[in-house]
A and B are shown apart, each in its own frame.
Chain A
């Protein structure tokens, strides 16, 4: 919801005696129940289990504040939430390439934040190997937040609100990078999308239309070897046959491994909430799901490292594309997109 509308709504409702300010803040209160790790039985075991980062409401709230706070950037203008918008499953809605600090434009599309605890690597090239240190990359990237982690800690130590939040979360007020990262991990790691119509269908709580069912059957035949259920990614990398954009000349995974086979391979993204995470591909070149389907059907560029799973898709009919598109929309998870736990009340009220 637009913040201004939210505040107007708050004023109206409280003036009518429907909802007091305190009650409104209660909505955002994080309890022990809110930080329980819950996921469906058909999900695999997560690769990150919080075993060395025990979930607690205070740590989650600290992580939430950090996520929404521009203090993480050099000139205090960019927060994680600047590019990772809740309503887009924490992707950057309608932004081809990300723009960070000093209005600098990046080279890649902002990926969503969801189901991270099942991921085994992070970023479009898989260069980051652990969920806890993932935030370090945008914080220190000169075109994203351009800040040094040591300076972030200095700023946090000089802020009495953070001193008390760290004390609440960790029993003493010491502010370390480990604590910053672990708190952020609690907040982001609990961003779990598992309640889409697809999930309800799997749990036999909902049915799919004939069109959606046809789409699912087709999906399983054409897409699922990379975008594997139930997470809709196999955590791997592939060159999906995109024509290389010479202005970016992004060699993807190769930059990390320097293995020729990895040239132009990128992280296989999850397709959950795909309706909200447009535009698509590592460089955001496609605006609509249909553009993506058209590309796989008839737009592939077969360079040396293109993945055989992509080349074997073959041409899709207009009807097949419609069915696939319809099925993909069942992956939208409104429970996740509107989850109150991921809204920062301070962020809402301070503007």
Chain B
């Protein structure tokens, strides 16, 4: 918000933070609304969503001269915290860019680095305490097909050690090269399709998989979530 005011007041100043990633979470074509909308998975099983949060880290942009990386940054995107849906703090040099890359999750180094502030603070409840490591994504909700108490389902996906490595590299190529300038805030709106977490290649059946909460169980979901992101527009 601060940057927006500055944008209006001083259109020609240099922005230290000139890129904002905004995430729009959807379930197929429907907007993601916590605890209210009834969605259907590809098996035609109904479900609602009570929690959806995930990490993206190590954002980089590819330009004509190579790659620019935003060093060691993780963002926690949480559907229930509207401020978190915008990263608001990325700074890259002016240039013509063709794609954005990041990882879904937290890189292995930051999984073994002890107490950390900000997005990686353990108070965010995205950390396994008995088997150290970040939970990269939490998706929780209810489905009448779930056999768990209260027809609850919960997917806590993570793990950074082979063979249970849930870190996924994401690359989103722009339709056409985009000029990103130090004099202007570039806003990249990214669609996140929750439905893709539940399908391709593994069809998640709520009656069989209502609780996936440890790294060694994660692959069935992490193999799905590589393709949940797409760019809506860049302004």
Contact = CB atoms under 8 A, between A and B. Distances in A.
Contacts of A185: 114-115
A129 B112 contact: yes
B116 interface: yes
A150 B127 CA distance: 13
A141 B115 contact: no
B121 interface: yes
A148 B123 CA distance: 8
Given A149-B123, A176-B121, A133 B131 contact: no
B158 to A, nearest CB: 13
A220 to B, nearest CB: 33
A177 B123 CA distance: 7
Contacts of A127: 130-132
A interface residue count range (under 10 / 10 to 19 / 20 to 34 / 35 or more): 20 to 34
B114 A132 contact: yes
Contacts of B112: 129-130
Interface in B103-159: 111-117, 121-123, 125, 127, 129-133
B164 interface: yes
A133 B129 CA distance: 8
Given A129-B112, A131-B114, A133-B115, A153 B123 contact: yes
B52 interface: no
Nearest to B131: A127
A149 B122 contact: yes
Contacts of A153: 123
Contact of A181 (B115, B131, B164, B216): B115
Contact of A130 (B113, B117, B130, B164): B113
A140 interface: yes
Interface string A148-187: 1110010000000000000000000000111011100100
A342 B114 CA distance: 23
A133 to B, nearest CB: 6
A137 B122 contact: no
A255 B128 CA distance: 13
A176 B130 contact: no
Contacts of A177: 115, 121-123
27 contacts: A127-B131, A128-B129, A128-B130, A129-B112, A129-B132, A129-B133, A130-B114, A130-B115, A131-B114, A132-B114, A132-B115, A133-B114, A133-B115, A133-B129, A133-B132, A137-B130, A141-B129, A141-B130, A149-B123, A150-B125, A153-B123, A176-B117, A178-B117, A180-B115, A185-B114, A185-B115, A258-B216
Given A136-B122, A149-B122, 20 more contacts: A123-B130, A128-B129, A129-B111, A129-B112, A130-B114, A130-B132, A132-B115, A133-B114, A133-B122, A133-B132, A148-B125, A150-B123, A177-B122, A177-B123, A178-B117, A180-B115, A181-B114, A185-B114, A255-B131, A256-B131
